[in-house]
Chain A
Amino acid sequence: MAYDKQWRTELPDGTVITRSNTWSPPGSHPVGYGVKVITKNGELIRIEGDDDNPITTGRVNAMNLAMREYTYHPDRIIYPMKRDPKDRGLDKWERITWEEAIDIACNKILEMKEKYGAESIVVFGGTGREACIYYYALAFSAIGTPNCCYTQSGWSCYGPRCSVTDYILGAGYPEMDYAGYFEDRFDHDEYVLPKWIVLWGKEPLPSNGDGLFGHVVIDMMKRGSRVMSIDPRMTWLGCCDGNKTLQLRPQTDTALALGLLNVMIEEDIYDHDFVENWCYGFDELAERAAEYPVEKVADITWVPAEKIREAARLLATEKPVTWAWGLAFDQNKNGVQLGMAFLALTAFTGSIDSPGGITLGPPSALLGKWRMEQRGALSDELWAKRIGAAEWPGLSTGMATTQPDETLDTLESGQPYAIKMGWFNSSNFLTPTCSAQPKRWHDGLVKLEYNVIQDLFMTPTAMAVGDLFLPMSTWAEHDGIVITHYGRNCIFMGPMNKAVTVGECYSDIEVCIAIGNRLNPDWWPWVDENGKPDAEAFFDYQLQELGFTFNDLRERGFYQPGYTYKKHEKGLLRFDGEPGFNTVTGLVELQSTLYEVWGEDSLPYYEEPNYSQISRPQDAEKYPFMATSGARKYSSFHSEHRQVPSLRAIDPWPVVEINPEDAKAKGIATGDWVEVENMFGAGRFQALLTPTILKGIVHCTHGWWFPEQAGEEPNLYGVWKSNFNSLVPHKNIGKLGFGAPYKGVMVNIKRVDGLDG
């Protein structure tokens, strides 16, 4: 088969092969699986791998392989629609043209601005999708509101880790070093294979978080790396020969991190050269860590003392060590402190910016930098109205969004001003994806005057609150750029190349341009001679600083920028060109110079989760289990893919994992329906008995709704039936406004007859 390396090839039989890189929708984080999209007569035939992609090397995940089922699913929305706001919750949608849709949207925006002020509009954005790059811009420079909201209580995904890194290291997202920057990958002469890969609160094989192709861990294991998993669950990786697990009680990670630091200090096995030359606050941190002797930490975490000592010794002496931190850092009220202690561990093991350690990027670059610059379209007066910014400076300094919990308070109270319009950019957050207490969000949102939905399917959120539905294209249906870590550590970039057209769907950037060009054309000039969005012109603009066009990127196929290690020694991290880190002290801040100003301890400390049997002994008998949630599956990305038959067959129902001893005591067998309940809410899940979870702990899957069920109110595709986020409290967050206990709340479990009844 003649293919060569051109980005598009047409075979004699009419088959067209388009090389591309995946992102979303449907979501898969900016992993950028290198693929060939096979089409014929304008129809998607299948997705194949691209062997030439240096990172994924032909491999593709199940969700992207099932793209044909997703693309042509009969439930997919492929034309713009409107519905009278009085019919919210009813299936009374009416097809309209894009011209009418854009007219309606722009007129509503102008009406709200005129009547209530621009701040009365909130743009809600989802997670992990390509829209993460664009929804900030849609809010700030297209619509013109300062209120851009990711609704997860405590902003508990990625943002906390990024902000902590910005404050402590003055850098973008630290990622494990898998030689992704180099064209010759693991053979690169400067690269050193890590002896240990620490996966802390992260299961990268199914999750592929933030641009990390999770299976690189297996590529590295095949070459000799070993995995140290720190997780309340034994994962498949943790069960592989040679690997180790510290299996801890949920939400006690910060105590474990302080315990590991303490052992490294007591036994004098930390990296003296790095700590003495490049770190600030060692003595203070040592004093704090001394409050966490191993036996005390073992009591808190349930990890045996000897395992903690062993781990500290292995990680301090068998170098290099690479580190990957996961969502468990964010979904924890004590997570900011965990992030600090984690970064201190990377310093103590000499891992920062060293070969086989962790790589660092600038806080924002390329598309990610452009995204942040969009706030420049707003006046200082309007920017100051951002919800929760003044109350939560520790969050609003690092993040350009609202504080999410404060946003729900404002939605409910109308203070300091009333929210009147919502714009939902690929965020189905009434489903248990991000928001805590989603019924409260629902009740607030249905009172808004107007709501616009951008999505691909009629979701529970869209059915409940939407008035205008803008249909979105998949990654195979539009041009785009995959950029890892949303520009906070750009390990590679790859083009998404439009290969097929379905209905009248637009991409996220096309919607931004359509709205922006109408309302703020100086910031959104990228339209063609007919006034239609010209995405290629936008990407040409974005790639200018690299010296090539979007078409150049297409033909190139993939861009890896290369990497310079130990940038702190070379004056490459600070804006002034001096050696050191881009922090207040110029050093890695083991003790923060910023936190005290924001009312937070300058050193890491452990705090028991507020809704645990220890913190609330009065409820311990009623709710004797700790529930964690959100472990990823190969069959779905948050609430997506539930309607795709081949993927639904893999995971047909929501699941609660229970230790067999606990299940026996409760009379529960695998396959039984179980109600998981606490003082905030309840949900039903099918039992899976497994020894991989500790006695006293349960794990519930997230993102569940049932597209096959009745969609209209009050059922809303069964969105309240298995909604774990109903059990998560509102505003139980850390002092900086970050972190909520999605991975650790007290619950009870009982057998019930089914999903309903």
Chain B
Amino acid sequence: MSEKKQYGLLCDYKYFSGNHAAEIATKEELGLGPDQWGIKEVQVGPYKIGEGTDGEDWDWIYLPVPTELFSRAWADGGDGSHGDRPLAVQVEESGSLQYGPIEELCKKLPELGHKAVLFLL
């Protein structure tokens, strides 16, 4: 019997724009109420780290944090009732989320070559 694969969520957060689509998508997909989340965005900044108005002078980051409710649905690849990937990964507007077996995502992480985070679900 083969060992169950572990799945992860990769976020290319150089481009993740904080558009809330992933939040609403997971609520719809998992049937969550107003106080529960499948993915919740967190915001860091904006604050200045330089003197001017170039991008390099500022820090302003959004990260989509997958919750326990999300892990329960997707940590082992899902049970097929919601398709083969989380709705959030499809609809997120900046196209910055990837979902898959953790070994595959580990290979993709360095290929991005910039700010990224891999969540083990």
Chain A residues proximal to chain B, CB less than 8 Å: 1, 46-49, 51, 57-62, 65-66, 68, 205-206, 215, 218-219, 221-222, 234, 236-247, 307, 634-635, 645-647, 649-650, 690-692
B95 lies within 8 A of A246 (CB)? no
Chain B residues proximal to chain A, CB less than 8 Å: 14-15, 17-21, 23-25, 27-29, 34, 45-48, 52-56, 58-60, 62, 83, 87, 90-95
A221 lies within 8 A of B15 (CB)? yes
Q: Which 4 A-B pairs have the closest CB atoms?
A: A239-B58, A62-B20, A65-B24, A245-B53
A241 lies within 8 A of B55 (CB)? yes
A61 lies within 8 A of B46 (CB)? no
B15 lies within 8 A of A646 (CB)? no
Q: Which B residue's beta carbon lies closest to that of A634?
A: B20
In the complex, chain B residues whose CB is within 8 Å of the CB of A57: 95
Q: Is the interface of A mostly helix, strand, loop or mixed?
A: loop
Q: Which A residue's beta carbon lies closest to that of B92?
A: A59
For this complex, 30 residue pairs linking A to B, each with C-beta atoms less than 8 Å apart, are A1-B83, A46-B29, A48-B90, A51-B90, A58-B91, A60-B21, A60-B93, A61-B19, A61-B93, A62-B19, A65-B25, A66-B24, A66-B28, A68-B28, A205-B19, A206-B19, A218-B17, A218-B94, A234-B53, A234-B58, A238-B53, A239-B45, A239-B59, A241-B55, A241-B56, A243-B54, A245-B54, A247-B53, A646-B34, A691-B46
B58 lies within 8 A of A646 (CB)? no
Beyond A65-B25, A218-B15, whether A238 also contacts B95 by CB under 8 A is no
Choose one: B20, B27, B48, B52; the contact of A691 (CB below 8 Å).
B48
B91 lies within 8 A of A65 (CB)? yes
Question: With A and B bound together, what is the CA distance between A46 and B32 in angstroms?
Answer: 13
Question: With A and B bound together, what is the CA distance between A237 and B55 in angstroms?
Answer: 8
In the complex, chain B residues whose CB is within 8 Å of the CB of A239: 45-46, 55, 58-60
Question: With A and B bound together, what is the CA distance between A133 and B47 in angstroms?
Answer: 42
A236 lies within 8 A of B17 (CB)? yes
In the complex, chain B residues whose CB is within 8 Å of the CB of A650: 20, 23
Q: Shortest distance in angstroms between A51's beta carbon and chain B's nearest beta carbon?
A: 7
A646 lies within 8 A of B17 (CB)? no
Choose one: A59, A66, A690, A691; the contact of B90 (CB below 8 Å).
A59
Q: Tell which of A66, A647, A690 has the most Cβ of chain B within 10 Å.
A: A66
A219 lies within 8 A of B46 (CB)? no
Q: Tell which of B15, B24, B92 has the most Cβ of chain A within 10 Å.
A: B24
Choose one: A215, A247, A647; the contact of B19 (CB below 8 Å).
A215
B95 lies within 8 A of A59 (CB)? yes
Beyond A48-B90, A215-B17, A222-B15, whether A649 also contacts B34 by CB under 8 A is yes
Q: Shortest distance in angstroms between A33's beta carbon and chain B's nearest beta carbon?
A: 9
A47 lies within 8 A of B28 (CB)? yes
Q: Shortest distance in angstroms between B98's beta carbon and chain A's nearest beta carbon?
A: 13
In the complex, chain B residues whose CB is within 8 Å of the CB of A234: 46, 53, 58
B15 lies within 8 A of A49 (CB)? no
Question: With A and B bound together, what is the CA distance between A68 and B14 in angstroms?
Answer: 31
Q: Which B residue's beta carbon lies closest to that of A644?
A: B24
Question: With A and B bound together, what is the CA distance between A307 and B53 in angstroms?
Answer: 9
B21 lies within 8 A of A65 (CB)? yes
Question: With A and B bound together, what is the CA distance between A59 and B48 in angstroms?
Answer: 31
Question: With A and B bound together, what is the CA distance between A57 and B91 in angstroms?
Answer: 9
Question: With A and B bound together, what is the CA distance between A65 and B34 in angstroms?
Answer: 14
In the complex, chain B residues whose CB is within 8 Å of the CB of A48: 87, 90-91
A236 lies within 8 A of B28 (CB)? no
In the complex, chain A residues whose CB is within 8 Å of the CB of B23: 62, 646, 650
In the complex, chain A residues whose CB is within 8 Å of the CB of B55: 238-244
Question: With A and B bound together, what is the CA distance between A745 and B111 in angstroms?
Answer: 49
Question: With A and B bound together, what is the CA distance between A291 and B47 in angstroms?
Answer: 37
In the complex, chain B residues whose CB is within 8 Å of the CB of A59: 21, 90-93, 95
Q: Which B residue's beta carbon lies closest to that of A46?
A: B28
A62 lies within 8 A of B29 (CB)? no
